[in-house]
Structure 1
Amino acid sequence: MSTREEADARSAAQPFWLRGPFAPVVDEVTAHDLPVAGELPRDLAGTYVRNGPNPKDGASRHWWFGDGMVHGVHLDNGKARWYRNRYVRTARYGGTNLDAAANGEDTSAARARRLRGGGTSNTHIIEHAGRLLSMVEAALPMQLDRELSTVGIFDFDGALDTPMTAHPKRCPSTGELHFFSYQTVRPYLTYYIADAGGRVISKREIEVDSPSHMHDFALTEHDAVFFDSPARMTRDWGDGMPFAWSETHTARLGVVPRAGGAARWFDIEPGHLSHTANAFERDGTIVLEGTRCARFEASPPCLHRWEIDLGSGQTRERAIDERIVDFPRIDDRRVGRPHRYTYVVELCDFVGGAPTSARLRRYDAATGASAAQDLGPRRIPGECVFVPRGDDPSEDAGYLLSIVYDGERDGSELVVLDAETFGAAPVARVQLPQRVPFGFHGTWVSTP
């Protein structure tokens, strides 16, 4: 066997998250004046930032467990000014052992240290009240500066003393940031609201009988909507995945009034919510759209819709499509309001539990149709982020940004699409100085 064949065999023996487009990169890089094919819109002024797992030692027991690394591309005046990738420097990244047994601590002390250790901080990144926050649902967020260096742990001036979801929602009407915590000890579920200035103005425990894997939630104009999954949390984060599927626990949607009041729970068909696209109220009914799998980590996700009749208590649900999709995004100005367009990553050609190809797809709620954005052979896009074009309120008046892996050259590029002509060729492709591993979620940070 040749040296190349031996290397290929070793790579094939690795789990999918350590090889191919998922494989971690070694170096933190800074590059300026990036090559651009096409023409970058001059009104795109800001930084696209995306988070994802990148184990610093090159090994990880699960895709979710790698150290967080953020990748940023700064655009200004039709130019790609810079690219940076930086590890989120949590206590874990710094080599601090957060295991209770190894440190001679009881479990509660170890839990407190993990909370303030930042976990892996590898899932999402948002900006709120002028702060750039990197998040993972098992710990407090980490604050970064505008050049992606780690500032430190952020706990909302001491108001946040539980883990924070990696999927907070910003209300477009009030500017409030709504988020929650789930954990293996009481309170199992806590609902927080921070005002537009970043001050926590509400903290409420939501009563549930035990914790579940509650990765995401949704927001309407008047309510927060939580998903109580049959994927039950059986122990703390630490040694492997802390969830076990229950055949007896009823899947439920919980509706919690934003202004205060008791939660109402509604039974739904067994299944697991991966990510929400949006939720909104219509004629006394809450409509929730997201990706659902029949069983956590055992079946692929598809785009799904749930409807809760708040008057009768009846629920209805259906698959919007049978295609395997995930990472749904909308125009964030429509959060909590009826939306027309949902953008997803369609995952195709699975081998060894991972997709070998992918495309972007847009679902149109007005027509019921969907359209594909195929970016070419061996190109695999990640989650796309919608950036509005100026003050135009139209849902397709803007751009879609996605980091795309190019298998032909084993590299990556930031692709800019015109949302109004979805399906057409990209308006610009920014070539990045190194491959960006397939990751999780990102955001657009406008230049002040």
Structure 2
Amino acid sequence: MATTKVNPYLDGNFAPVREESTVNTLEVIGELPPDLSGMFVRNGPNPQWTPIGKYHWFDGDGMLHGVRISNGKATYRNRYVRTKAWKIENEVSKAVWTGLLEPPQKNSLPKPMKNPANTALVWHAGQLLALWEGGAPHAIRVPELKTIGEYTYNGKLISAVTAHPKVDPVTGEMMFFGYGFAPPYVQYSVVSPEGELLQTEPIDIPMAVMMHDFAITEDYTIFMDLPLTFSKERMKRGEPMMKFERDKPSRFGIVPRYGNNSNIRWFESPACYIFHTLNAYEEGDEVVLIACRMNSTTVLDVPQDTHIDSQADIPRLHRWRFNVKTGKVSEEMLDDIASEFPRINENLLGQKTRYGYTAKAAKGSMPLFEGIIKYDLSAGKSETHAFGRGRYGGEAVFVPRPGAKDEDDGWLVTFVYDTVEETSELVVVNAQDITGEPVARVLIPQRVPYGFHGAWVSEEQLKASV
């Protein structure tokens, strides 16, 4: 008798939880620091209904998991992001849209692809936004995690919004971009500290690419035109629309913050793919970028030509230097250990930092992470916090201690799932004692599936939320 193969992204702790819960008292092992006050919120895919056709992890409806911490105590709640597509499917009690691995639908749906708002979060101008790179953000009310609706900057938004906007901690401005399948393939926007969309400029690149992240410095914005391409012409020939083209170089475009396509400068390096940047900064005549680099990628089952790359999809921390005077480019690997989801103390975003943090990848084909790596970028050293046998976590968000003077004075927070006990918890690690035991483990009474990106909303931000 034939057995049905289970989709790994619908199994184990990748499987969705359908119940929305509110728990006002959580058990804490250890002690929550008295000056740790705010809310950790993490976004991730959580299909509301059984998917149609092939399902990819990127497809699921966005669900927010939030832990509110105050006075040494913690509460928990999880809520779906109630997008337009979520509401339509909720009304008919079934999935209506197919996912990224299926051909685009040709029917009466409002759009061929739904915006699940499932990828990341950003706090800006008194508002928490849930993000997905193919559409508009969704405004979220905290601490309730209630969806307010699509956020279009008073109708000024004319592009999709990356899942990874950058907020300058000095000026309070936010920079974002959106990419698409038709020219202009990239649009670049700047938002004022008060939340006004100030400018949107088209950026000219040769063809459509998947551009997941970017970076900023004090004066520049850095775009990554990497050879993971989209081609309608390929599709018409019966070939895949999306493909990693290893014979094309990676291109990095550096533009002044308030610049446009006329003053962007492009630099080339060997073909690669980058999902996430750690940080960027200026040093003399050089713009320095630090990011997790892959030789190539098979994301969304894209083909790899006839060449089998044993290093495909293995991200490692790298550093690039772009000399804006001479045009010289250098690239170096900082560590041969596989890791992803890079974060820093975001009070220093766009400036040179000493420390960076990544999620240490576990061996195997699934995106599981077994610990947190703390990089001392000045000394060229690293230390690792291990979650423990059979325990896997995700992106660790750095929470600065109020009034801290040292860059690493704060905590790293992430959800961890114990595959033996089948339990979930929020782990709080002292960033200055990364190899030590967590200072606190907040036990969650329901399973928290693996997800994508999180954000820390401080007590001051919660009080100022709109």
Most deviating of 295-304 and 411-420: 295-304
Whole-angstrom CA distance in 2 between matches of 1:359 and 1:254: 33
Letter in 2 for 1:360: I
The equivalent position to 2:162 in structure 1, one of 151, 162, 165, is: 165
The equivalent position to 1:102 in structure 2, one of 83, 107, 110, is: 107
Most deviating of 47-56 and 19-28: 19-28
Aligned-residue offset at 1:94: 2.0
Whole-angstrom CA distance in 2 between matches of 1:327 and 1:164: 19
Work out whether residues 48 and 74 of structure 1, in 8 Å CA contact, stay in contact via their aligned partners in 2. yes
Q: Which residue matches 2:217?
A: 220
Work out whether residues 246 and 296 of structure 2, in 8 Å CA contact, stay in contact via their aligned partners in 1. no
Matched, 1:63 2:87: no
Q: Which residue matches 1:36?
A: 28
Whole-angstrom CA distance in 2 between matches of 1:42 and 1:270: 48
Matched, 1:243 2:242: yes
Work out whether residues 410 and 432 of structure 2, in 8 Å CA contact, stay in contact via their aligned partners in 1. yes
Whole-angstrom CA distance in 1 between matches of 2:176 and 2:374: 27
Whole-angstrom CA distance in 2 between matches of 1:393 and 1:207: 42
Work out whether residues 357 and 378 of structure 1, in 8 Å CA contact, stay in contact via their aligned partners in 2. no
TM-score, length-scaled by structure 2? 0.87
Whole-angstrom CA distance in 1 between matches of 2:242 and 2:407: 37
Change in CA separation of 1:228 and 1:142 when aligned onto 2, cut-off 3 Å: same
TM-score, length-scaled by structure 1? 0.90
Letter in 2 for 1:218: A
Post-superposition Cα deviations, 1:199-257, rounded to whole Å, max 9, x if no partner, equal 0112111111212110000000000001001001236xxxxx96211234321000011
Aligned-residue offset at 1:319: 1.2
Aligned-residue offset at 1:356: 5.5
What secondary structure does 1:93 align onto? helix
Where do 5+ consecutive residues of structure 1 fail to align?
Answer: 236-240
Letter in 1 for 2:130: S
Matched, 1:137 2:133: yes
What secondary structure does 2:79 align onto? strand
Q: Which residue matches 2:400?
A: 388
Aligned-residue offset at 1:274: 1.3
How much identity, in percent, do the aligned residues show? 39
Work out whether residues 370 and 388 of structure 2, in 8 Å CA contact, stay in contact via their aligned partners in 1. no
Q: Which residue matches 2:92?
A: none
What secondary structure does 1:64 align onto? helix
Whole-angstrom CA distance in 1 between matches of 2:295 and 2:165: 24
Q: Which residue matches 1:424?
A: 436
The equivalent position to 1:363 in structure 2, one of 361, 364, 375, is: 375
Aligned-residue offset at 1:185: 1.4
Work out whether residues 28 and 440 of structure 2, in 8 Å CA contact, stay in contact via their aligned partners in 1. yes
The equivalent position to 2:181 in structure 1, one of 184, 205, 221, is: 184
**Following TM superposition, where does structure 1 have runs of at least 4 consecutive aligned residues deviating by more than 4 angstroms?**
96-100
What secondary structure does 2:107 align onto? helix
Whole-angstrom CA distance in 2 between matches of 1:279 and 1:141: 24
Whole-angstrom CA distance in 2 between matches of 1:275 and 1:206: 20
Whole-angstrom CA distance in 1 between matches of 2:141 and 2:149: 10
Work out whether residues 123 and 134 of structure 1, in 8 Å CA contact, stay in contact via their aligned partners in 2. yes
Q: Which residue matches 1:238?
A: none
Q: Which residue matches 1:270?
A: 271
The equivalent position to 2:388 in structure 1, one of 347, 367, 376, is: 376
Letter in 2 for 1:301: P
What secondary structure does 1:304 align onto? strand
What secondary structure does 1:232 align onto? strand
Whole-angstrom CA distance in 2 between matches of 1:382 and 1:439: 7
Whole-angstrom CA distance in 2 between matches of 1:142 and 1:242: 28
Change in CA separation of 1:395 and 1:203 when aligned onto 2, cut-off 3 Å: same
Change in CA separation of 1:129 and 1:310 when aligned onto 2, cut-off 3 Å: same
Counterparts of residues 195-344 of structure 1 (less than 5 Å): 195-234=192-231, 243-261=242-260, 262-297=263-298, 298-344=312-358
Q: Which residue matches 2:78?
A: 85
